[in-house]
Copies of this chain bind each other. A is one copy, B any other.
Amino acid sequence: MPAKDVIHDAVKNALIKDGWTVTHDPYSIKYKKVSLLIDLAAERAFAAERNGVKIAVEVKSFLNPSLLNDLKTAIGQYEIYLSYLEIIEPDRKLYIAIDQETYEALTSVEGLEVVFQKHTIPFIVVKIETEEIAQWIN
């Protein structure tokens, strides 16, 4: 099993505070001979709906000195996980969870907007110290 991301627990607690029930930690999916482990899966029931909203969350700390190197891995993970989720559980939405400082760094580099214009990755931006969700980027 891969090592837990350093901000894993902060993201999990932030989801719980936000009203989500964490149903899988990690969330394992299997398709033929391919096995994937996504960090978290969570559900939230809404009064007006019979079925709750379901999400899968891959937690990414950007530890690399180069933002771009971590972004490569994050995009690759997102794209691969999405390929399988669309087949296995198309009603579960995939997010990448990152800390607020990383999100601010990513959005402040002039020219990096090119990547996000082409790849509309949904982010959950988390305040690590207070374990709160700062923003959902859809």
Residue numbers of A with Cβ under 8 A of B are 31-34, 36, 68, 71-77, 79-80, 82-84, 87, 109-112, 114-115, 117-119
Contacts and interface: CB of A to CB of B under 8 A. Distances in A.
Copies in the complex: 2
A110 B32 contact: yes
A83 B33 contact: no
A76 B72 contact: yes
A68 B29 CA distance: 14
Contact of A114 (B31, B114, B115): B31
A39 to B, nearest CB: 14
Given A76-B79, A84-B114, 20 more contacts: A31-B111, A32-B110, A32-B111, A33-B110, A33-B112, A34-B109, A36-B68, A68-B80, A71-B76, A72-B73, A72-B77, A72-B80, A73-B73, A73-B76, A74-B76, A75-B76, A79-B119, A82-B118, A83-B117, A83-B118
Nearest to A112: B34
A80 B119 CA distance: 9
Interface centre among A76, A77, A115 (most CB of B within 10 A): A76
Given A34-B68, A109-B34, A87 B114 contact: yes
